[in-house]
Amino acid sequence: MTATDPRRRIPRTDHLLALVRRVQQEARDGLIAPEDVESAVLAAASARATTLRPVLNATGVVVHTNLGRAPLSDAAVAALVAASRYVDVELDLATGSRSQRGVQARAALRAACPAAEDVLVVNNGAAALVLATTALAAGREVIVSRGELVEIGAGFRLPDLIASTGARLREVGTTNRTHLRDYVDAIGPDTGCILKIHPSNFRVEGFTSEVSVAELRTAAGGLPIVADLGSGLLRPDPALSDEPDATAALDAGADLVVASGDKLLGGPQAGLLLGTTAIIERLATHPLARAVRVDKLTLAALEATLAGPPAPVPQALHADPAILQARTRRIADELGLPVAAHDGRVGGGGAPGVPLPGWAIRLPETAAAALRTGDPAVLPRVHDGACLVDLRCVPESDDHRLLAALRRAVGTQ
Ligand SMILES: *Cc1c(COP(=O)(O)O)cnc(C)c1O
């Protein structure tokens, strides 16, 4: 066949089989009725609804920004599909009258973090931060340490984001050291709030000091303290001991915590705001709240993530090392490839420098391109002149697909 031969467009057998298997699984999960399986296969085959391609994440990086951060749990996917129809997102079915949007997801979030008096969900973490600084400090000052002026990726800088709200940044301290007196000296009649940003994607080591939320509380008086945690841990995780969590920040005296839904929480893209009743009320009734309103799909997926069994992100973070090693060996042995110790990462701007010890199958570096462009697409880690395949973030149910993809990639070398 030449490159232009139209027969090249005939879908590959494994591609078609994957489609049949997916529909069968959806039927097993109760998403479609057993008698609808055939028509669902035909519908799926005729409509390639999106050009986004599913990727097996073999990098060992759990929250991989370029792969869309957190993969959703089966429960969240099912909730999302159900919510794509008409749902009671703003309706009380008992009375037939209008209800508060997303009460179900908000209740689930409050239940998961009882330290918060009230909560609000918006589109993403950046939107949550913009809403908070606009409502609390537009036209006034936001006091923030110079050690916390973070660029979060793709050139986006939190100080620029805050300045865009009309709040003025009042920088205090230095890159490596900020003291309580720096904050105290800056507090004045123009202060709107004090912002504490978790520098989630880098670490300053050596001669450093920062001021904790608890210390800030002693000096802030009635001024609101906002803690931007980034990661979205609601409670402490022993595996990530340095990672701040919403419960601890609120218990230490923060009035408001800002976090993402699709980082360590493992849910859909969302901005979580957890805080006092008074501040959440201020944010919820601000006109900007409507512009960053979250959609019903996100609310459904978030509620299911919070209420359901552990999502893929926490599962991958706490993967059993013995099982990971056994899976890695099984696939490597099938192909006669070596296995090496390999540290995974939390990723997504969380827990920088914290290794997640595991293993990787070692291939020649040139195998990486074949893996990326194969079907299924596999993203390995290219490092030290090798192509490393780490199974931490590959669901065990996909091991046979990964093996097939590796076999093809090795065969094309
Ligand atoms: C990731 C992050 C944000 C932005 O959150 P998004 O959900 O990506 O919009 C803000 N602040 C910190 C500290 C972060 O780590």
| Cis peptide leading into residue 376 (ω within 30°) | yes
CATH number at residue 324: 3.90.1150.180
Give yes or no: residues 303 and 400 share one domain: no
Give the pLDDT confidence score for residue 3 in this predicted structure.
61
Which atom of ligand 1 is least distant from the CA of 349?
15
Tell me the two tokens of residue 174.
């230095």
Give yes or no: residues 186 and 147 share one domain: yes
Give yes or no: residues 271 and 193 share one domain: yes
Which atom of ligand 1 is least distant from the CA of 271?
7
Task: Considering only the C-alpha atoms of the chain, give the largest distance between any 2 of them, rounded to a whole number of Å.
Answer: 76
Give the pLDDT confidence score for residue 37 in this predicted structure.
84
pLDDT in tens, 275-301: 999 999 999 999 999 999 999 999 999
Give the span between the Cα atoms of 226 and 136, in whole angstroms.
Answer: 10
**Is 389 within the bounds of a domain?**
yes
For the chain, 413 residues long, the average pLDDT of each consecutive 10-residue run is: 68 77 81 81 71 95 96 97 96 95 95 98 97 97 95 86 94 95 98 94 86 96 96 93 94 98 97 98 97 98 96 97 97 98 88 90 97 96 97 97 95 70
State in Å: Cα 327 to ligand 1 middle: 33
> Is the pTM for the entire model greater than 0.85?
yes
Residues with CB under 6 A from ligand 1: 124-126, 129, 150, 152, 158, 197-198, 200, 228, 230, 260, 271, 349
> Which among 251, 276, 307 is the end of a domain?
307
Give yes or no: residues 57 and 87 share one domain: no
**Is 204 within the bounds of a domain?**
yes
Give the span between the Cα atoms of 17 and 13, in whole angstroms.
Answer: 6
State in Å: Cα 141 to ligand 1 middle: 21
> Which among 245, 279, 307 is the end of a domain?
307
Q: How far is CA 368 from the centre of its chain?
A: 25
Give yes or no: residues 188 and 335 share one domain: no
State in Å: Cα 225 to ligand 1 middle: 18
State in Å: Cα 215 to ligand 1 middle: 24
How many independent structural domains does the chain possess? 2
Q: Which domain holds residue 319?
A: 53-71+312-411
Name the residue with the closest Cα to ligand 1, atom 12.
Answer: 230
Give the pLDDT confidence score for residue 170 in this predicted structure.
97
Name the residue with the closest Cα to ligand 1, atom 11.
Answer: 230
Name the residue with the closest Cα to ligand 1, atom 1.
Answer: 230
DSSP string, 243-298: S--HHHHHHTT-SEEEEESSSTT--SS-EEEEE-HHHHHHHHTSHHHHHTBPPHHH
Name the residue with the closest Cα to ligand 1, atom 2.
Answer: 230
**Is 39 within the bounds of a domain?**
no
Give the pLDDT confidence score for residue 245 in this predicted structure.
96
Give yes or no: residues 331 and 287 share one domain: no
**Is 291 within the bounds of a domain?**
yes
Name the residue with the closest Cα to ligand 1, atom 15.
Answer: 230
Give the pLDDT confidence score for residue 182 in this predicted structure.
98
Give the pLDDT confidence score for residue 295 in this predicted structure.
97
Give the pLDDT confidence score for residue 383 in this predicted structure.
96
Environment class of 68 (CB within 10 Å of its CB; exposed 0-12, middle 13-18, buried 19+): middle
> Which among 307, 336, 371 is the end of a domain?
307
Give yes or no: residues 298 and 356 share one domain: no
**Is 77 within the bounds of a domain?**
no
